[in-house]
Amino acid sequence: MEHVQVLIIGGGMAGLSAAIWCQRLGLSAVVLEGTDAIGGQIGQIRNRIWDFPPGVYQDGEALLTELKKNESLCVNGLVRMNEQAVSIDTAKRLVHTTARVYRPNYLVIATGIRPNQLAALNNAPNVLGPWFSTTSNAKSLANQNILVIGSGDRAVESAINLSSYAQNVWVSVRSNRLRARDEWQKQLHERDNVTILWETEIAEVTAAPTPVATLHSTVGKPDLTLDADWILPRIGVRGNSELLPGLPTYGEGFYVVNDVLQTEIDWIYAIGDVVNGPAYASLALASGQAMKAIKHMILTRKENSHDASLS
């Protein structure tokens, strides 16, 4: 068993920022990153990052390059790659991973989010993955027929980007309205090769001899079949909150926290997208939350008997 003052689960912007603040404030910390690369979803950002001062970054990889230069993250053993948290015993204050068992004074959950899935697309051969960037790669689908699924900002923006190159773009919307911002909706309605298919949902996709998508009406109208070369689901995200299923969540698995990022268990904090959800997903917010959570540990350590080692 290994004791650590602050155990951080997740090596994205929130988790790494928490580690930096631990270094600054003199707390021992370990970051568990389940993959072989730090940064979480930062590396999947293909557009310019202009809202994370002081710099403007060409894309997520450019930001990651700068982040890796931070000397606080170069401490030997701070970030442990390919080590996944498996279970958390809140009564005994133990965190079991694929490599060892930890007993932390504090636990910071920074596990982020993942895209929602559609069962009807599980075996479809022509589905574009969640990290397909319509900002960078729309031109690769020139003269294709594309079905976009979703009604939010990302779905509508994707449809707009694709319409500049595609032959036809269909947008399947389960309800009778779009959830995207007004400016995106206005641009979408101005595109002649975009058709919105209201009150529909994907039912199945057949591959032979050519891909055909079948859309089911949610209001009892006849099904639609589309010769879709590609399908791009943009149906939102959910929080990676399975590690602590007993903690309160809202929406699609986002942890409920107080104003200092504590969950209902006072030694467990949650920060970043797993708390903020898609509406407030932000690198700057994640970084700020990390600061607030770690500073709160320092400011309140003398009030908690289990934190004697932090004094």
Label residue 73 by pLDDT band (50, 70, 90). Answer: confident
Average pLDDT, the chain: 93
- For residues 265-292, give the mean pLDDT: 95
Residue 71 has pLDDT above 90, yes or no: no
Q: What percent of the chain clears pLDDT 90, i.e. is strictly above it?
A: 78
Nearest alpha carbon to residue 236 among 309, 126, 156? 156
What is the model's pLDDT at position 306?
52
Amino acid identity of residue 222, one-letter, is P
Tokens of 198: 């209201």
Which of 47-61, 130-144, 154-168 is predicted least confidently? 47-61
Label residue 46 by pLDDT band (50, 70, 90). Answer: confident
- For residues 231-246, give the mean pLDDT: 95
Which of 59-68, 184-193, 242-251, 253-262 is predicted least confidently? 59-68
- For residues 68-89, give the mean pLDDT: 90
Tokens of 306: 């289990």
Residue 308 has pLDDT above 50, yes or no: no
Residues with Cβ < 8 Å from 31, sequence gap 6 or more?
A: 8, 10, 11, 15, 16, 18, 19, 78, 79, 80
Phi-psi label, residue 39: left if phi above 0, alpha if psi -120 to 50, beta otherwise: left
Label residue 274 by pLDDT band (50, 70, 90). Answer: very high
Residue 305 has pLDDT above 80, yes or no: no
Helix (H, G, I), strand (E, B) or coil at 294: helix
Residue 61 has pLDDT above 50, yes or no: yes
What is the model's pLDDT at position 311?
43
Residue 66 has pLDDT above 70, yes or no: yes
CA count, 13 A, side-chain hemisphere, 296 = 21
Rounded CA-CA distance 118/131 in Å is 16
Residue 150 has pLDDT above 50, yes or no: yes
Q: For residue 181, give Cα distances in angstroms to 49, 157, 196, 220, 270.
A: 20, 10, 16, 28, 28
Residue 97 has pLDDT above 70, yes or no: yes
- Cβ contact 261:275 at 8 Å: yes
All structural domains of the chain: 2-114+237-310 (3.50.50.60), 119-233 (3.50.50.60)
- For residues 27-32, give the mean pLDDT: 96
Q: For residue 200, give Cα distances in angstroms to 108, 147, 157, 223.
A: 40, 12, 19, 8
Residue 98 has pLDDT above 80, yes or no: yes
Query: For residues 83 and 69, which has the higher predicted lDDT (pLDDT)?
Result: 83
Taking only the tens place, the pLDDT of each residue in 163-173 is 999 999 999 99
Nearest alpha carbon to residue 202 among 118, 130, 125, 146? 118
Taking only the tens place, the pLDDT of each residue in 243-253 is 999 999 999 99
- DSSP H or E stretch at residue 106: strand 101-109
What is the model's pLDDT at position 302?
55
What is the model's pLDDT at position 198?
98
